Amino acid sequence: MKNLALKVQRFLKSEDGPTAVEYAVMLALIVIVCLTAIGAIGSNANTTFNKVATQLGGT
């Protein structure tokens, strides 16, 4: 039983868990920013292509 208590105590003092969570949160934020940027760029590109197609006489 004492061995289990020592393992739990070591686990709670370990810095690996919080570090992994911090990296996961940073990765999630990076993914959100990338998706937002890709969406904005895609929307702007679509608008530009539509303007060019209109000027060229397309529908």
The reported pLDDT for the residue numbered 14 is: 72
pLDDT above 90: percentage of residues in the chain: 54
Tens-place pLDDT, residues 13-34: 777 667 778 889 999 999 999 9
Number of domains forming the structure of the chain: 1
Q: Which residue has the higher pLDDT, 7 or 23?
A: 23
The amino acid that residue 18 corresponds to is P
CA distance 43 to 51: 12
Q: pTM of the prediction? A: 0.57
- How much is the average pLDDT of 2-7? 83
CA distance 55 to 59: 10
Residues constituting the chain: 59
Q: What are phi and psi of 34, to 5 degrees?
A: -65, -45
> In terms of residue numbers, what domain contains 33?
1-56
